[in-house]
Amino acid sequence: GGFDEDPPITSRLLREFATSGFLNAAGGCCGTTPDHIRQIRKAVAGIPPRQVPKRVGRAKFSGLEPFEIGPDTRFVVIG
């Protein structure tokens, strides 16, 4: 297998991620070319950086359902 996604597809997808607030950084890896990077740069230009949400001091776990433990949580048995 190899990387066969062309620059227009890559840049379009990363633009969607950026406008949805999912993107922290954009770049390439094995198989991307300078043209990929140019088109990614153009696609995300002017989109403001993702705002990192304020962290809440709670322990978060997940199994089938998300579960949070905080100072207001009563005794919890896990397992």
- What confidence tens digit (pLDDT) does each residue in 25-74 have? 998 888 899 999 999 999 999 999 888 888 777 787 777 888 888 888 88
Start-to-end Cα distance in the chain: 41
pTM of the model: 0.65
Q: DSSP class of residue 62? A: E
The pLDDT, as a whole number, for residue 69 is 86
The pLDDT, as a whole number, for residue 72 is 85
Which of residues 38 and 4 earns the better pLDDT score?
38
Report d(CA 51, CA 15) in Å as an integer.
16
Element spanning 18, H or E: helix 7-19
The pLDDT, as a whole number, for residue 1 is 55
Provide long-range contacts, Cβ within 8 A and 24+ apart, for 49-52.
50/18, 50/21, 50/22, 50/23, 50/24, 51/21
Tell whether the model's pLDDT for residue 24 goes beyond 80.
yes
